[in-house]
Amino acid sequence: MIKIIINGKQIKVQPDTTILDAARRNDIYIPTICDDPRLEPYGGCRLCLVQIKGMPRLVSACTTPVTEGMEVETTNDQIERQRRTIVELLLSDHPNDCMVCEKAGDCTLQELAYFYDLRANRFYGERRQYTKKDLNPFIQRDMEKCILCGKCVRVCEEVQGVGAIDISSRGFTAKVTPPFEKDLDCEFCGQCVSLCPTGALMGKEALGRGRQKDVRKVETICPYCGCGCNLTLHVNRDEVVSVSSRPDTVNEGWLCVKGRFGYNFIKSPDRLKTPLIKKDGVFVEASWDEAFQYVADRLIAIKEKNGPDAIAGLSSARCTNEENYLFQKFIRAGIGTNNVDHCARY
């Protein structure tokens, strides 16, 4: 363990941590935009600048490893002045239309502007203007709101291993884009959407379906596959408007396209609500009792005529473990055959 001092407070940390990690673990707030503990440090936004005693320059807390005896100051007039200027510069190149922005209420930039009380801006000038042309069904990319924190690029490369996007061009004209500035054509896992600190990346299904304050969060497990990722449903007036996942879960907050964006089936009119039994070549709605009775009668009849091995059971990964356990028990003990399988295998 290494001993360091942050804001006059003695703390002990692991040798390989950064100043930012150390501060977070000890509940010391340092503003950040480009950092995510699950990604490699980037050092791009410069908001996390801190002063180390004896160092001539401010350093970024997210990239600087702690060393024995280091004395760190996370805030002072000089540091806050830098941070304020950085946020002001960002706002000088931003649509600033929080009133109609989907992200309002959950936006890092908005929060920083509020924190630094930036009503007026000393800077103004040209603003990047891009036409939106995303034809994909899942992700809206509004690159005028992008602050180039690079999180989307890094998560896509480092976590998802896809590399569907990168930063092209330089300086003020730099922008995040799929190859050759074409439409996004990727896995649509939405990892990037989940990390974007602003309204630059939004799930299309969620657009216009209610402000953050009206959203109720409901924790659940993804029904799609046996991985069982944790989901947080964002519910407004009994409708799931979007889905997220917390970083402190088994799946560390990462989801796939189905878990993140495939929630509209819940209210789909095509969704089956009663069992159907085929009569004279057409499916007809039936009651549960009727359906169970029909299935039981047929299974008994087949077993009596052709023996238990004429029957096989195939279960679904969308069932819970308990349901799958019961199912194989039913097939093995109830029917008396080992012909049982599952899309993720028993």
Lookup: tokens for 314? 């195939």
Q: Which stretch binds ligand FES (CB under 6 A): 46-54, 232-240, 310-318, 328-336?
A: 46-54
Helices (H), 8-130: 19-25, 77-91, 108-115
Sheet with 230-236: strands ordered across: 216-221, 230-236, 239-244
Q: Which stretch binds another protein (CB under 8 A): 1-9, 137-145, 167-175, 298-306?
A: 167-175
> What is the rounded distance in angstroms from the CA atom of residue 241 to the CA atom of residue 212?
11
Q: Which stretch binds ligand FES (CB under 6 A): 33-41, 108-116, 182-190, 309-317?
A: 33-41
> For tokens 């657009």, what's the residue?
207
> What is the rounded distance in angstroms from the CA atom of residue 231 to the CA atom of residue 256?
11
Q: Give the nearer residue to ligand FES in terms of CB position, either 45 or 146.
A: 45
CB 72, CB 7: distance < 8 Å: yes
Residues that bind ligand SF4 (CB under 6 A): 94-98, 101, 103-104, 107, 109-110, 145-152, 155-156, 160, 162, 164-165, 176, 186-192, 195-201
Of positions 147, 184, 186, 215, contacts another protein by CB under 8 A: 147
Please report how close the Cβ of residue 36 comes to ligand FES at its closest, in angstroms: 9
Q: Give the nearer residue to ligand SF4 in terms of CB position, either 13 or 192.
A: 192
Of all helices (H) and strands (E), which one includes residue 241?
Answer: strand 239-244
Q: Could you give the angle at the alpha carbon of 42 between the alpha carbons of 120 and 46, nearest 5°?
A: 30
CB 283, CB 277: distance < 8 Å: yes
Of positions 23, 44, 139, 229, contacts ligand FES by CB under 6 A: 44
Lookup: tokens for 327? 């199912």
What 3-state class would DSSP assign to 16? coil
Cα within 13 Å of Cα(94), Cβ side: 23
Of positions 5, 17, 38, 43, contacts ligand FES by CB under 6 A: 43
Please report how close the Cβ of residue 87 comes to another protein at its closest, in angstroms: 9
Please report how close the Cβ of residue 39 comes to ligand SF4 at its closest, in angstroms: 11
Of positions 111, 166, 239, 252, contacts another protein by CB under 8 A: 166
Of positions 22, 28, 86, 206, contacts another protein by CB under 8 A: 86
Q: Which stretch binds another protein (CB under 8 A): 81-89, 130-138, 209-217, 266-274?
A: 81-89
**Residue 50 binding ligand FES, by CB under 6 A:** no
Number of neighbours of residue 229 by Cβ within 10 angstroms: 20
> What is the rounded distance in angstroms from the CA atom of residue 343 to the CA atom of residue 336?
21
Q: Which residues bind another protein (CB under 8 A)?
A: 41, 43-46, 49, 57-60, 63-65, 78, 81-82, 85-86, 89-90, 92-93, 122-123, 125-126, 147-148, 150, 166-167, 169-174
Q: Which residues bind ligand FES (CB under 6 A)?
A: 32-35, 43-48, 60, 62
